Amino acid sequence: MRIKQQMGITFNLDKCLGCQTCTIACKNVWTNREGAEYMFWNNVETKPGAGYPKEWENQNKYRGGWKQNSEPGADAPKLNQASKFWEMISLFYNPVLPQMDDYYGKGPFTFTYEDLHSEEPTKYSQPVARPKSQITGEEDIELTYGVNWEDNGAGTHEEGTGKLDYNFSDMSDEARKALLKFENSFMMYLPRICNHCLNPACVGSCPSGANYKREEDGVVLIDQDRCRGWRYCVSGCPYKKTYYNWRTGKSEKCILCFPRIETGQPPMCFQACVGRIRYLGPLLYDLDRVAEVANTKDEKQLVEKHREIILNPFDPEVIAEAKKQGISDQWLDACRRSPVYKMFVEWEIALPLHPEFRTLPSLFYIPPESPVATALPNDRGTLDMVDGGTVLPNLKEFRIPIEYLARLLGGGNTEVVERSLLRQLALREFRRQERVEGRTDTSILEAVGLTESQARHMHRLLSLAHFHERFVIATARSEDTDNAPYLERGFTGFDLMSPSEGTGGQSRRTEFHGKKMGVGS
């Protein structure tokens, strides 16, 4: 067992407001420069919707991520884009790269905001801000697509881009059309950053060895010195979370704000989040089992298998082995306080996005609750009774279909989504009884497999948690690693982007599938 350290993340979708404060925080700090106009290392998209870039979830179109390798003796999955033939034909033209049309239609745009306060005061009409290209400066350009194109559900109907949402792919055309009708419509927000995966397809795809997972906290980075601009990481990442910079000729991605993490601060988008939906906490995992778990035959088992390789930081054997392998007491203590460990492994309420891409993300989502779609009858029609006379709504009646959430967060496995939703609902009912009826009855918790102390901790973290409870950050100490803290070396965001300085190029790299894997290997 080789124990590795990983910064884990949880986003609680039940609380996201779609306000985009996180997006602006990241944009202003990291991608507010030439060549990065279209980049959104953090984006929040409305679901159902085609997303950013358009249809990113559809790997029949983009061939990103990994596929199960069923060849005899195979101990690791294969890249979706890996084959000698593919390597040869895509060397100078890669047909599965997203085009600008998939990101921004006619190109990234802004608006002529200056017109709002500089127009002649004698005009009778209200001043308007017109669309303007961020690249050429041309005004009045046609807007055909953009980031969060289906904002607040606009355009998710059958005639719009809603039908392109890949999460309808398990449903018949009739079922999808019915769901997109106005009276049945539903929506939710999906904030996305790089998942800092345990089995990153961007790393596996890069022929230059520029993409890597750093040893001290598992953050996935692109070494700007080594990047040759092949863009295999862009097509390899199934989440489309690496972007090509047309000005520098290199690829870039979310860096989990590692200069902040190294000084004990949460990333910008986490700190700025208005809904307080974001949690950060360290995890330990077994590197020796990553490839095997990613190659699990049945994609519906991937969530449970993924949980198995996250190690229990309370287990004395794990603690002893971790110490033997050089993991500090400070990191182990932080793992025991990690909200991400609680939510993903212990309470099983958080789930990885599209586990079937087999990258084993380190970002987990708590699925959103939604109102029941029909009026509750007097008999048991839409309610499931549990012992003690308490009630939980029938999840089949939820406005957001369970099958949709299972395609998004469970690899098609409805059970893992139902368990998460039932536990959240049970907690809500338990607290309602306490606050409104003045009685404490744990039967509803027992019915969904939660103890009272787990429920109280869950309530604390989901509803009331302070800053230090949401963000448990184990900073890398210079004596633990070859990698001296960047701030001590005068590190700045600009150094990061400069081809000469590199992106933490001196940082130790976590081994990958026991060897370096390039396209076609």
Kindly list the residues in this chain that would bind ligand SF4 in the complex (CB under 6 A): 16-22, 25-26, 30, 41-42, 44, 189, 191, 193-197, 200-202, 220, 237, 239, 241-242, 253-257, 267-269, 273-275, 277, 359
Q: Pick between residue 200 and residue 504 the one whose CB is nearest to ligand SF4.
A: 200
Distance CA 347, CA 402 (A): 19
Q: Pick between residue 256 and residue 327 the one whose CB is nearest to ligand SF4.
A: 256
Q: Pick between residue 259 and residue 393 the one whose CB is nearest to ligand SF4.
A: 259
| Beta carbon of residue 279, minimum distance to ligand SF4 (angstroms, whole number) | 11
Q: Is 387 helix (H, G, I), strand (E, B) or coil?
A: coil
Decide: 272 and 22 in contact? Cβ < 8 Å.
yes
| Beta carbon of residue 378, minimum distance to ligand SF4 (angstroms, whole number) | 38
Q: Pick between residue 272 and residue 405 the one whose CB is nearest to ligand SF4.
A: 272
Neighbours of 66 (CB within 10 A): 27
Element at 383 (helix H, strand E)? strand 383-385
Q: Pick between residue 322 and residue 363 the one whose CB is nearest to ligand SF4.
A: 363
Q: Pick between residue 45 and residue 429 the one whose CB is nearest to ligand SF4.
A: 45
| Beta carbon of residue 147, minimum distance to ligand SF4 (angstroms, whole number) | 12
| Beta carbon of residue 121, minimum distance to ligand SF4 (angstroms, whole number) | 37
| Beta carbon of residue 269, minimum distance to ligand SF4 (angstroms, whole number) | 3
Ramachandran sector of residue 137 (left: φ over 0; alpha: ψ -120 to 50; beta: rest): left
End-to-end alpha carbon distance in the chain: 25
User: Which class for 118: exposed (0-12), middle (13-18), buried (19 or more C-beta within 10 A)?
Assistant: exposed
- Kindly give the interhelix angle for 402-409 and 414-432, rounded to the nearest 10 degrees: 110
Q: Which two tokens stand for residue 517?
A: 């894997």
Q: Pick between residue 227 and residue 386 the one whose CB is nearest to ligand SF4.
A: 227
% helix / strand / coil in the chain, to the nearest 5?
35, 15, 50
Q: Pick between residue 5 and residue 242 the one whose CB is nearest to ligand SF4.
A: 242
Quick one: DSSP state of residue 132? Answer: E
The CA angle 311-316-319, to the nearest 5 degrees, is 60
Of the candidates 367, 391, 291, 271, the residue with the CA atom closest to the CA atom of residue 74: 291
| Beta carbon of residue 64, minimum distance to ligand SF4 (angstroms, whole number) | 8
Of the candidates 127, 129, 91, 128, the residue with the CA atom closest to the CA atom of residue 109: 129
| Beta carbon of residue 234, minimum distance to ligand SF4 (angstroms, whole number) | 9
Q: Is 23 helix (H, G, I), strand (E, B) or coil?
A: helix
Residues 6+ positions from 324 with CB-CB distance below 8 Å: none
| Beta carbon of residue 514, minimum distance to ligand SF4 (angstroms, whole number) | 18
Q: Pick between residue 269 and residue 319 the one whose CB is nearest to ligand SF4.
A: 269
Q: Is 352 helix (H, G, I), strand (E, B) or coil?
A: strand
| Beta carbon of residue 150, minimum distance to ligand SF4 (angstroms, whole number) | 15
